[in-house]
Amino acid sequence: MNQSSYMPRILVYQVADSTIMEDYLRFYGFEVISSTSENVKEKASDGNYDLCIIDHYNGLELLNFLRNIDDKIPIIFVSSKYHVEYIVEALNSGADDYVCIPYNLEELVCR
What long-range pairs does 85-91 form, CB within 8 A, spacing at least 24?
A: 86/56, 89/60, 90/56, 90/59, 90/60, 90/63
Nearest CA to 87 out of 76, 72, 73, 71 is that of 76
Higher pLDDT, 47 or 103: 103
Work out the average pLDDT over 86-103: 92
Which residue type is seen at 92? Answer: N
Work out the average pLDDT over 28-49: 91
Query: pLDDT band for position 1 (50/70/90)?
Result: very low
